[in-house]
Amino acid sequence: MSYLIVGLGNIGIEYADTRHNIGFNVLDALARTSNISFNSQRYGSVAEYRFKGKSFLLLKPSTFMNLSGKAVNYWLQAEKIPVENMLVVVDDLALPLGTLRMRKQGSDGGHNGLKDISETLGTNNFIRLRIGIGDNFGRGQQVDYVLGKWREDESKELPVIYDRAIEAIKSFGTIGTERTMNFFNTK
């Protein structure tokens, strides 16, 4: 059984270590702990990860956040992975820092990466792992906050957040969405 795990983010040094790139960061953390590396391929960087007999294709799209659907669609087709075996790892302003929420479907919630994937695939029936980045910004400051670097106090929490997200990814591929939601959709 194969799975596509998509970590959303923006390529480029100016976006490294920003809240919007938490999807990239989770996949990078998974690669580090598993001694695998990403290779630059069509529309993104990919790595193959195996766990308990399952095969996970990790994808960090190189199409920029707002065009993520192009990369996702390409890799789903190229690897013949059904959309129900795809998990999109994404930042979420509406959740407190570190809160994980797995959903089987839903709106894009104003997230341009999710919006483009939904539009490209013609459905919002795909599983997403939303990771809370908080909403500690003033009126009109949303873009600066999302594209901003982590504060020092937030950075200290990131390793634990990444570890929990990695466990949720493994769980998704081994015990399924429903049971994973039961375990991880808590603080």
pLDDT tier at 109, thresholds 50, 70, 90: confident
d(CA 12, CA 24): 12
Q: What is the CATH number of the domain that holds 143?
A: 3.40.50.1470
The pLDDT value given to residue 91: 96
Give the residue from 44, 75, 46 showing the smallest Cα distance to 62. 44
Which of the following is catalytic: 4, 8, 20, 101? 20
Q: Is the pLDDT of residue 187 over 60?
A: no
The pLDDT value given to residue 92: 95
Q: Is the pLDDT of residue 3 over 80?
A: yes
User: Residue 87's domain spans which residues?
Assistant: 2-184
The pLDDT value given to residue 186: 66
The pLDDT value given to residue 86: 97
Count of the separate structural domains present in the chain:
1
> Which residues neighbour 178 within 8 Å (Cβ) at sequence distance 6 or greater?
none
The pLDDT value given to residue 64: 87
Half-sphere exposure of 14 (CA within 13 A, CB side): 3
20 classed as catalytic: yes
Q: Is the pLDDT of residue 121 over 90?
A: yes
